[in-house]
């Protein structure tokens, strides 16, 4: 047990015996802590780490995850936006999978896999069934959009399926908590 474990993170004033133990521990070269209790303010690298964390509002890993969620949402925008621009044409049976839809679907895949990795690296809980369902639906979307990317006219039902699966994935993402 280190000196700081004994102190705990509690803000309650430490007892006299604990303070003496900490002082003795310091004299014997025990590693200090970065807490705001009796071990004193952070020093050296700890001071910088705390300053950066305060500036970012959270850890750098959280910022990275939020950045990837942002990219994930840009992917949705490209996929769903591409679909929406073709809605009128879909009614006439002349819709086509625009390049943005393929790029959006690929972005979803890459950022989704990265998000799984980042969340796991951070030890956060991941709903594997939810992610599995989203992945399965995205594979169907990606397959259809990729195979038919050069076709001038896409069947109404197939085009509609891509839009419906994309919308389903959005609702799975936000409602399945
Ligand atoms: C069309 C396909 C997809 C859509 C529309 C979609 C939608 C979304 C949305 C709206 C969010 C933010 C809301 C939230 O945090 O729950 C999100 C987060 C996330 N997505 Fe996706 N997603 C798709 C595909 C994927 C795929 C294929 C994967 C993984 C292989 C994935 C993994 C994740 C992860 C890990 C998060 C972080 C939040 C969480 O725990 O759910 N997504 N997705």
Handedness of CA 78, 83, 89, 95 (dihedral sign): positive
- For residues 114 and 70, give the distance between their C-alpha atoms in angstroms, rounded to a whole number: 12
- For residues 34 and 118, give the distance between their C-alpha atoms in angstroms, rounded to a whole number: 26
CB of 174 shorter than 6 A to ligand 1: yes
Our measurement of the distance from residue 86's CA atom to the centroid of its chain's CA atoms, rounded to an integer in Å, reads 30
What is the mean pLDDT of the segment spanning 113-134?
95
Residue nearest to atom 21 of ligand 1 (CA): 112
Tokens of 177: 């908590």
Residue nearest to atom 3 of ligand 1 (CA): 169
Residue nearest to atom 31 of ligand 1 (CA): 112
Backbone conformation region of residue 84, classed left if phi is above 0, alpha if psi is from -120 to 50, else beta: alpha
Q: Assess contact for 88 and 163: CB atoms under 8 A.
A: no
- For residues 16 and 5, give the distance between their C-alpha atoms in angstroms, rounded to a whole number: 16
Average pLDDT value for the chain? 84
User: What's the pLDDT score for residue 8?
Assistant: 45
Residue nearest to atom 40 of ligand 1 (CA): 126
- Tell me how far apart the terminal alpha carbons of the chain are, to the nearest angstrom: 38
CB of 114 shorter than 6 A to ligand 1: no
User: What's the pLDDT score for residue 27?
Assistant: 61
CB of 116 shorter than 6 A to ligand 1: yes
User: What's the pLDDT score for residue 70?
Assistant: 98
Model confidence pLDDT, tens digit, residues 16-65: 555 555 566 666 655 555 444 555 667 778 788 777 766 666 688 889 99
Model confidence pLDDT, tens digit, residues 1-21: 344 444 444 445 555 555 555
């Amino acid at each position: 047990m280190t000196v700081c474990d004994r102190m705990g993170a509690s803000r309650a004033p430490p007892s006299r015996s604990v303070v003496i133990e900490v002082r003795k521990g310091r004299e014997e070269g025990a590693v200090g802590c970065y807490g705001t209790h009796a071990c004193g303010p952070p020093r050296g690298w700890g001071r910088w780490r705390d300053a950066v964390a305060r500036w970012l509002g959270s850890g750098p890993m959280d910022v990275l995850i939020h950045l990837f969620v942002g990219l994930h949402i840009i992917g949705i925008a490209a996929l769903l936006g591409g679909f929406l621009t073709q809605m009128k044409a879909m009614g006439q049976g002349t819709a086509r999978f625009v390049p943005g839809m393929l790029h959006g679907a690929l972005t979803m895949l890459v950022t989704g896999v990265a998000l799984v990795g980042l969340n796991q690296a951070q030890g956060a809980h991941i709903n594997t069934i939810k992610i599995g369902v989203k992945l399965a639906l995205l594979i169907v979307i990606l397959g259809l959009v990729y195979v038919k990317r050069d076709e001038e006219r896409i069947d109404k039902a197939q085009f509609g399926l891509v839009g419906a699966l994309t919308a389903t994935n959005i609702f799975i993402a936000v409602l399945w908590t």
